[in-house]
Amino acid sequence: MSLNPIITMLGRRLRLAVIGGGEGSFIGPIHRLAARFDDRYELVTGVMSSKPDKALAYGRAMGFVPDRLYGTVAELLEKERARADGVDVVAIMTPNDSHYAYAMAAIAAGFDVICDKPMTNTLEEAEALHRAVLDSGLVFCLTHNYTGYPMVRQAKAMVEAGLLGELRLLQVEYVQGGRAGDGSPGGGSGASTKVEPINFTKPRMWKYDPARSGPSLVMGDIGTHAHNLLRFVTGLEVAELAAERGASVPGRSVDDYAGALLRMDNDARGSFWVTQAAAGVENSLRLRVSGSKGSLEWQQETPQRLDYKPLGAPAEKRTPRGSGTLPLALRSSRIVAGHPEGFPTSFANLYADAAEAIAARRAGAAPDPLALYFPNSFDGLKGMQFVAAVVESSEGDGRWVRCP
C-alpha cells in the first residue's frame, strides 16, 4: 500500500470540518495539527465559536473559501450535506456539554465523527449516542489520545500475546497540579475558604460550571482518560467499584480528586486515583499491570519507555523502535530511535487510524486491522458508565457499586 492509504482508496484526502477550538482553546490547535500530520485530511471549513460573528471571522482567518464560511453548526451541516464536494468528517472540540448535540447532529447528517473526550456529560446521552452510531454504521473516534502512544500500544499487544499471563493486579493514576491554586473557586494557596466569583468568559473557565463540565470535573477531565487507558491496555472491564470524590481545596464546589478500589471482570483487583490539585505536579499519568508471569509499567511523562518485569528474569526497558517492539506499536512509531514520541503525535495516530477506517467504509474496502484500535462510541459509553458508578458510590459513602 502507498504511504497514503486514503488517497489509494478514495483518490483524494478526506474533507474535514472542525467545530470549536477557537480563541483560547488548548486542544483545538492540537486536533488541527493531528489532522494534518499524515496528510490524510484536508481542513476545508469549520465553526470555531458559538458566536456567529466570531465564527465567520475565525473562518476567514483560517483561509476557508467564502462559500464555506458558516456562522453556526446547523448551517455548516445543512450546506455541507447538500454539496457534491461536502465534508466527509466532522471533528468536535467544544466544551463538554455540547459534544452530544453536535455529534448527534453530525451523525444525522451522514458525517463520520471525531470527538474530544468525554463523549457526553451524562450516561443517558452516552447510551443514545452509542445507539445512533451503531444504527448509522458511521465511524466514531473518541480522542482518548493516550491510547495513541506507541508504548501504550506495545503494552496492549504484550498483554494480548499472553506475556503477562493471567492479569491479577492493576493500578492507574492521573495526577496533575493545575488546580492546586489557579484562582478558581477556593483556589489560591489553599489556605483560604473564600469562594471567588467565577468569570465564565475566561478561556476554559466553563469547566467550573457543572452544567457544562458534567457531574464531576476531575472525572470528566482526566478520570475518563485513566479509566480508558486501563481498559485499553488490559482488555478488562470494571465489574464493581468503591469510590470517593470531592474537593481537596477548601471552599471549592467542584471535584478535584477521585479515588476508587476496583474489581475487574476477571476478578483482578485494582486501584484508581485522579486529582488536579497536587501542587507542583505537571501531568503524571501512570499505569502498572501485574499478571502471573510479569508486570508492565508506563508513565506519560516518559512516554517512550515501557518497563517490562518478567517473573524470574531480568527487567527490560522497551522503547518504540527497540528490540521486541510489536506490530501495533511499530505502526504508531514515527520518530527515529532515541527520540520521544509526543502528545501531538498520539492524537495524530488516532486521526490517522480513524481516517483509514473512514476511507475504507466509504470505498467499500477493508482497513488494516491495526487501524481499528482507536477509541469509539462504546469506549465513550463505558467511560460514562464508570463516571456514573463513581458518583453513585461516593454519594453512598463509598459503598460497592456494580458497573454495567
CATH number (domain holding residue 282) = 3.30.360.10
Average pLDDT over residues 382-386: 98
Kindly state whether residues 179 and 247 are assigned to the same domain.
Answer: yes
Q: What is the mean pLDDT of the chain?
A: 92
Summarize pLDDT for 86-106 with one digit per residue, the tens.
999 999 999 999 999 999 999
At residue 78, φ and ψ (nearest 5 deg) are -65, -50
Residues 179, 193: Cα–Cα separation, whole Å: 15
Residues 226, 222: Cα–Cα separation, whole Å: 6
Kindly state whether residues 173 and 57 are assigned to the same domain.
Answer: no
Number of domains in the chain: 2
The pLDDT, as a whole number, for residue 350 is 98
For residue 330, pLDDT beyond 60: yes
Q: Domain span at residue 9?
A: 5-146
Kindly state whether residues 79 and 162 are assigned to the same domain.
Answer: no
Max Cα separation, the chain?
66
Q: Which comes out higher in pLDDT, residue 297 or 341?
A: 297
Last residue of some domain: 113, 146, 179? 146
For residue 210, pLDDT beyond 60: yes
Residue 51 in any domain: the answer is yes
Helix locations, 251-374, DSSP H? 327-332, 343-363
Kindly state whether residues 286 and 240 are assigned to the same domain.
Answer: yes
The pLDDT, as a whole number, for residue 186 is 43
Kindly state whether residues 139 and 178 are assigned to the same domain.
Answer: no
For residue 39, pLDDT beyond 60: yes
Summarize pLDDT for 20-30 with one digit per residue, the tens.
999 889 999 99
Residue 343 in any domain: the answer is no
Average pLDDT over residues 370-378: 97
Residues 151, 289: Cα–Cα separation, whole Å: 14
Residue 395 in any domain: the answer is yes
The pLDDT, as a whole number, for residue 191 is 38
| Range from 51-60, 153-162, 201-210, 372-381 carrying the lowest mean pLDDT | 201-210
Kindly state whether residues 243 and 100 are assigned to the same domain.
Answer: no
Q: Which residues of 260-292 are buried (b: 16+ CB within 10 A; e: fewer)?
A: bbbbbeeebebebbbbbbbeeeeeebbbbbbbe
| Range from 123-132, 150-159, 317-326 carrying the lowest mean pLDDT | 317-326
Q: What are 356's three cell numbers?
A: 483509514
Confidence of residue 337 (pLDDT cuts 50, 70, 90): confident
Residue 360 in any domain: the answer is no
Q: Which comes out higher in pLDDT, residue 334 or 108?
A: 108
The pLDDT, as a whole number, for residue 1 is 34
For residue 197, pLDDT beyond 80: no
CATH of residue 96's domain is 3.40.50.720
Summarize pLDDT for 226-257 with one digit per residue, the tens.
999 999 999 999 999 999 999 999 989 899 99
Kindly state whether residues 174 and 313 are assigned to the same domain.
Answer: yes
Q: H or E segment at 43?
A: strand 41-47
For residue 203, pLDDT beyond 70: no
Kindly state whether residues 251 and 394 are assigned to the same domain.
Answer: yes
Kindly state whether residues 199 and 332 are assigned to the same domain.
Answer: yes
The pLDDT, as a whole number, for residue 192 is 38
The pLDDT, as a whole number, for residue 193 is 36
Q: What is the pTM of this model?
A: 0.92
Kindly state whether residues 229 and 134 are assigned to the same domain.
Answer: no
Summarize pLDDT for 2-13 with one digit per residue, the tens.
579 999 999 999
Residue 352 in any domain: the answer is no
Contacts of residue 328, Cβ cutoff 8 Å, sequence gap at least 6: 153, 154, 156, 157, 370, 373
The pLDDT, as a whole number, for residue 184 is 52
| Range from 120-129, 206-215, 346-355 carrying the lowest mean pLDDT | 206-215
